[in-house]
Structure 1
Amino acid sequence: MNKQTKRLYFENPYQVEFDAKIIEKTTYEEKSVLILDKTCFYPESGGQPSDKGTINKVKVIKVLEKNSRILHVLEEDVFSEDIKGIIDWIVRFDYMQQHTGQHILSQSFDEIYNAETLSFHLGHEISSVEIDLRKITEEEVEKIERLANEIVFQDREIKTYFIQEEETQSVPLRKPPKKKGLIRIVEISDFDYSACGGTHLRRTGEVGIIKILKLERIRNNVRFEFLCGKRALQDYTRKNRDLRHLSNKLSVSEGEILNSFEKLVLELKAQKKKNKNTQEKLIQYEAQEAIQGAKEKIIKEIYSGRNPEEVRSLALNIIKKGEYVVLYGLRAEKRVHLVLASSETLDIDMRELVPIVIPMIKGKGGGSPSLVQIAGEDPENLELALDRAYEYINNRLTD
């Protein structure tokens, strides 16, 4: 029977260093693996990532659990039989803040809205819980936050202990345990009782603060992203810096930023509408000038520094004002565009030009009998493609 690894993090999650003996050496994904008689390293489990750190100064890449034994996947092999392990305390404490914060947050949802936590993910930057809720308002989210942080500020004791499976009926667990046999309980005094194998803090005050960042619908439930402790402080620092920057840029107080922003949005929309109206008038004038300067029914031109929508609008304005065929090319960065249009009264299907010009500019596109648009990757043949289109249309008009 395989000897199990003693989990020191159950006894003391604040222990950073440990000495151990090697039980077995193996490999995982072509990397060296050590199985020890005891360890402080928490293996990836229950939504919580594995600890980081070193064994005999060799980096531990990941930690896994298999058959009640802990697999330490190393960056390179370790040859000494005497093992000295050191976990990364900064990462461990961060995970403890996030995981304990999740227990408080989940029980807050359960207590106020009788909403079950369906899943939990502890990410390297942001954590999330999926809650059995159909909808929730901003005010209700704030109510959850208030209760969760009250529990934090009350600095309640957190205890962990093991009980037999048959004893779980005597403990008011938030949800039934998934495992059988010996069950580990994480108890937040007079608030939450959860079956959990993760690393947790000794008191709720160490969580610091719990902040819900955003929510989204998923699988007919609601997923909440949140931060705890140092992560929440870093987020607040960054956002406060951004607010100060915006306040200075807008020359308003922080409390007036939202109103000032909404005013700017309205002004921008009005200016865009005004610009669009002005642009449409300019296009109409330009179309009229093109018609007045035309010496035949075919108007051909190559533009640079314009966008395809402007050129398209110009072509449409021309064919609406008279019986013309417009053959426009556009050079735009590394791509080229063709806008080919014809007055409907001329009875010319511009789609007939597609197989002629597309191979020449390595393009793609299509359209209707009166308007074809093509985007291509070969700018060198743009002028030649327009010339071929001109020859084809000219022959059609003189038939």
Structure 2
Amino acid sequence: MTIALRRVAEHEWDTVYEAVSWAFGGLFEPAAERAAWRGVTDLERAFALWDGDAVVGSFTSLPFRLSVPGGALVPTAGVSMVHVASTHRRQGLLRRMMRHGLDRAREAGEPLAVLTASEPAIYGRFGFGVAAYALQAEIDTARVGVRVPPGADDVRLSVTSPHEAAPRCEELYTRLVPTRPGMPARQPGWTEKILLDPPESRGGASATRCLLAERDGELLGYARYALRPRWTATVPDGTVIVRDLDAVEPAAYAAMLRFLTRIDLTSRVQLGMRPVDDPLVHLLTDVRRSELRTLDRLYARPVDVAAALAARTYAADVDVVLDVTDGFCGWNEGRWRLSGGPGGARCERTSDPADLALPAGALGAAYLGGTSLAALAAAGLVREVRAGALAAAATAFAWPVAPWLPHGF
């Protein structure tokens, strides 16, 4: 029977979602979680593969506006809910869905596509490279303290409900988005999804609380956290689980981190998916007892090389001809002249000789400024054609702050 690829209809949503849940382990999420995913999914961009009446694959493209170096918010296809049934592997079905999804992104004028990978080995062949990493930490608060900068003691801290504080927290988040590449502007439905906290999903932890940091009534930062109580014999040994931690100034960030490491009856603080240049690395008195770990986080690829490269700014003036190979999106193949700097850039096709040669995946990895073109060259993924071009381009593509994806999709 022919396997059909078609848009997901409203009455098919639950069937497709259940198939995705089985593909990711068969642990079904609460009804509220399913409803939240439906709230952020545009069914015009959700597709499934059908073998008769059975769903054997799915592919969703979430409409994002992603921050890039320089602060612009670029229309981006957020690839999500991708799966192929184990009964239908090695039939080219993932390639078929990816082909369809990236073609539609191009038609929609989205210069970028991004995803988070459950299995990193899969997506390199479709031109995706690791554009942002994340830091995880588990702090032994019995042995590790927090150094605070001047002004931290002037910050007023209070604890409230995440839903009550949401409007103010989202306003602060919106201010932060242009300051760090890789952050998505919140689209409708995402705030509700992020705040979702069904008891069935807490894993023995408490309900989430929201810590607010203020000075003279102005919100400077917030943290959403939960507590997982535990006793070892008669000794309290609980964990503070930090879900979000955002601040617009160092003193507020440090004051909140200090508070979180001093909560009664706890002996550790877990922070997941932080920026790799997170201030906590410099504020903790002993990073060796903080179990720092770096993970791949956000994968990116250019859907439209010219539009993507022109959408960001560059740390230094750059004038370079890039010879791009792209075996999956052939329209990106060829030589492109990138000219620009801190004030903006343009990128257009050229017949001039190449300065650097690289595949689309390497360009995606370097795009947000967190992966050095020089490091990619050392791995054999970028080739310098004109002497001196690599150092100049690597300097221009770099960015002062690391890219960061604050929440999954």
Q: TM-score, normalised by structure 2?
A: 0.18
Larger Rg: 1
Q: TM-score, normalised by structure 1?
A: 0.19
Higher helix share: 1
Q: Which has the higher contact order (CA 8 A, sep 6+)?
A: 2
